A and B are shown apart, each in its own frame.
Chain A
Amino acid sequence: MRRAALIGFLVLAFAGPAIITVAGASRERTLAFTLGAPSTTPAVVLRPGATVCQGPIAVAAAFDGVELQPGTFGAAGSPLAVDVRRMSDGGTIAHGRLAAGYADVRRETIRVGPVAEDDEVAVCIRNAGSHRTALYGSADAAVRTSTAMLDGELTGRDLDLVFRTNARSTLALVPDVLQRMALFRGGWIGTWLYWVLLALLVLGVPALLARALISALPGRVDEGEPPAP
């Protein structure tokens, strides 16, 4: 009976982690971080030569690509030049270009080269073509620590910017995930605690449940327990 119970438990208890591990190893992710302003509306319209800058942006993880959603008003997309500028001195630290001809209201990723974690930057997009282009985003409240400025003027909008990096499996992201979990918890809580919790979760909890199961099987008497009524 004990064997049957344990087999039933172990099959299910280990099938779960096995499936999660396989799924985590096979699924690749390129997200470095996101500004957090979804594409709910055209946030700004860039006339030829105009530049919009979104900042300040705290670089939560190193990235080498910027994803955005342009609108072309039905025409072929106008070329866009993307600069990543340091907030402290305005110097350009990365640069990329979206070639003309992209489709209307479709997400595009522009490679800009590596930008290191913990920098504080602004992302500036210049319309380098001859047709107007819309950039999608949200109302300014979407990202309260950052805002979009069109040719130096406040727009009251935030751009939908997603920062991309090299593809990594979800499993490879586990150390980063645990580090992110430890933020905004309390001063004494660090990533170390999450490694302890992970060990507790995958080793301690199944061990305790197996113990509960075995000790609940008929034939085992809890000492000190009065007989059943």
Chain B
Amino acid sequence: MSAPVDSAVRRATTRWTAARRIPAPLVALLGAVLALGLVWALVVPPFQAPDEQSHFAYVQSLVSGPGLPGAPGHLAFSSEQLRAQDVSNSDQTAAQIQVKPTWSAAEWERWQRLDDGTPPLSRSDSGGPGNPAGANPPLYYVYEAMPYALFAGGDFFSRVTAMRVASVLWLLLTVVGAWLLAGELFRRDRLLQLMSAGVAGLLPMVTFVSAQIGPDTMMYALWALALWLGVRIIRRGVTTGMAIALLGLTGLAIIVKATSYALVPATLLALGVGLWRARASRAQTVRLAVAALAALAIPVLAWFAIARLGGHAAAAQLTDASSSGGTNLRELASYLWQYYLPQLPFMDQIDPTGGGVPAFQIFVKQSWGAFGWLEVRFPDALYTWFGALTAFVGLAGLARLATRLRSMDLAVAAFLAVAVMTLLAGLHWTDYHQWIAGGAFMQGRYLFPLIPIAGAVTALAISWLHGRARAAAAGVVLGGLFALQLASLALVATRFYA
């Protein structure tokens, strides 16, 4: 055999072996998640997901407009986009349950004829001030610029569809991250890994959000991978590559969405524990720490520099939260109490949701099913059952954790707890200040960066069972998630198309 042929065979064999190393349950799960993601991307009408039109406009501003949104003299949305929103009736349909998108095939054909003759100006006049997503960091939008540019020769709605499909790919990485995290936590118990990754990839709201144009899907994936790497470093020890990867992912997550600053304390904890356990020389420790911190700082500082040069806010969400009203610690404590528990007699009423316990109204209802612009919901009674199921699984999982305290690595538990608590603290801090300013901020999907941990808690709950009972419970979880997917899709299809 000649040398080039020999080398090609070797490469093919290596690839084949690598492919065979991907566990069969994960491959099958990824196939199912991809199929569901594509279905969601193609079922939800254009711009019937929170702020999708703003995210599209950001990308259009980068590719066809002046660059980062906010340029004076430009429209927030291009005239092409505004016309597309008109013809598909998307603005009127948003959040108004009785209004439907355009169903007329004749209107659609008319638009296609019109779109063929659209002059270039109608795309390039976007990128002005007033885009609600304009304050976001740019990484996700740069990524979405690729499918946008790839379909730039096509009609407007082809670009929207291509960008949605590109978003779905990040959901696959979220599933992989959840699988790997569970592998570390459950010592590669395949069934428990499948439960963890299954919850992360099959919960309908996660699929819905991940199949739309918006940075959340990329953030979920980066968080999932960072959570895995953090646990891996704590359990197996730190290497330069792993440390750079962990903090680099955190840096990238920050320039996807400012929410990801909440990941920094946990990743620093993981790095610190890893370095402390490595017991390397001081010089080695310093070298590794500097390399890792540089991986965190480089993307963030690069974004700050670009933003400053362009007169763009680099972390608007953070600065807005801290500048909108002062902080009354007593009131903040009362807000936190009333977010999760009923008001006590001596407390002033704080009601950011307009009725009911906010944790239930926002976290439970909007995590289990609030599609479209949150207006597409299951019958109200069903959410009580969802809430009870969440509480049952959560308590069963935590109780299982308590039984394993002696044998478990407490640093791992601390790492995950810090990630959860910091995200919650950041969300509540912002929500409280927005509430003071008279606005509303919190949404259920903001918890989804933690979805791999929710999956792991579900797996922990199932780990109470053994043998056939565990297998049956795993079947029920997967079957239940699939049934919920179908019910959610039927709900969405009925709301928009029947």
Check: B15 CB closer than 8 A to any chain A CB.
no
Contact A181 B100 (CB under 8 A): no
Contact B157 A38 (CB under 8 A): no
Contacting B479 at CB < 8 Å: which of A11, A60, A189? A11
Contact A36 B89 (CB under 8 A): yes
Interface residues contributed by chain A, number (CB under 8 Å): 75
The answer for the CA separation of A122 and B98 in the assembled complex, in Å, is: 21
Q: Which of B84, B479, B480 has the most CB of A within 10 A?
A: B479
Contact B96 A38 (CB under 8 A): yes
Majority DSSP secondary structure for residues of B touching A: helix
Contact B194 A185 (CB under 8 A): no
Check: A76 CB closer than 8 A to any chain B CB.
no
Contact B100 A177 (CB under 8 A): no
Given A12-B483, A24-B490, A186-B158, A213 and B194 contact (CB-CB distance below 8 Å): yes
Interface-forming stretch among A44-52, A91-99, A203-211?
A203-211
- On chain A, the residues within 8 Å of B413 by CB distance are none
Looking across the interface, which residue of chain A has its beta carbon closest to that of B29?
A212
Contact A36 B93 (CB under 8 A): yes
Q: Mark A171-200, 1 if CB is under 8 A from B, else 0.
A: 001001101110111111100011001001
Given A184-B101, A189-B42, A8 and B482 contact (CB-CB distance below 8 Å): no
The answer for the CA separation of A183 and B35 in the assembled complex, in Å, is: 20
Check: B340 CB closer than 8 A to any chain A CB.
no
The answer for the CA separation of A224 and B105 in the assembled complex, in Å, is: 52
Contact A208 B471 (CB under 8 A): no
- On chain B, the residues within 8 Å of A155 by CB distance are none
The answer for the CA separation of A224 and B14 in the assembled complex, in Å, is: 12
The answer for the CA separation of A15 and B476 in the assembled complex, in Å, is: 11
Contact A34 B100 (CB under 8 A): yes
Contact A144 B187 (CB under 8 A): no
The answer for the CA separation of A205 and B84 in the assembled complex, in Å, is: 33
Contact B32 A201 (CB under 8 A): no
- On chain A, the residues within 8 Å of B17 by CB distance are 224
Contact B25 A216 (CB under 8 A): yes
- On chain B, the residues within 8 Å of A2 by CB distance are 471
Q: How far is the CB of B476 from chain A (nearest CB, A)?
A: 4
Contact A217 B471 (CB under 8 A): yes
Contact A188 B158 (CB under 8 A): yes
Contact B157 A216 (CB under 8 A): no
Check: B493 CB closer than 8 A to any chain A CB.
yes
Q: How far is the CB of B102 from chain A (nearest CB, A)?
A: 7
Q: Once A and B bind, how many residue pairs between them come within 8 Å at the CB atom?
A: 241
Check: A225 CB closer than 8 A to any chain B CB.
yes
Check: B474 CB closer than 8 A to any chain A CB.
yes
The answer for the CA separation of A185 and B20 in the assembled complex, in Å, is: 36
Task: Give the size category of B's interface with A.
Answer: 35 or more
Looking across the interface, which residue of chain B has its beta carbon closest to that of A168?
B498
Contact B158 A187 (CB under 8 A): yes
- On chain A, the residues within 8 Å of B42 by CB distance are 181, 185, 189, 193-194, 197
Contact B474 A218 (CB under 8 A): no
Check: B24 CB closer than 8 A to any chain A CB.
yes
Contacting B105 at CB < 8 Å: which of A14, A31, A118, A208? A118
Report B37-96 residues with CB < 8 Å from chain A CB.
Answer: 38-39, 42-43, 45-46, 84, 86-89, 92-93, 96
20 extra interface residue pairs, beta carbon distance < 8 Å, beyond A12-B480, A59-B104: A10-B479, A16-B483, A17-B483, A34-B100, A38-B96, A60-B103, A120-B106, A144-B86, A183-B105, A186-B158, A188-B158, A200-B35, A201-B39, A204-B31, A204-B32, A205-B32, A209-B28, A212-B25, A216-B191, A222-B24
Instruction: Offer 30 A-B interface pairs, CB within 8 angstroms, sorted by A.
Output: A7-B472, A8-B479, A9-B475, A12-B475, A29-B498, A36-B89, A36-B92, A36-B96, A118-B104, A176-B498, A177-B493, A180-B497, A183-B102, A184-B157, A185-B160, A186-B158, A187-B158, A197-B38, A201-B35, A201-B39, A205-B36, A206-B482, A211-B25, A212-B25, A212-B26, A212-B29, A212-B194, A215-B24, A216-B474, A228-B188
Question: Which 3 pairs, one residue from A and one from B, show the smallest C-beta to C-beta distance?
Answer: A16-B483, A8-B475, A12-B479
Chain A residues with a Cβ under 8 A of chain B:
1-2, 4-17, 19-20, 24, 29, 31, 33-34, 36-38, 58-61, 118, 120, 142-145, 170, 173, 176-177, 179-181, 183-189, 193-194, 197, 200-202, 204-206, 208-209, 211-213, 215-218, 220, 222-225, 228-229
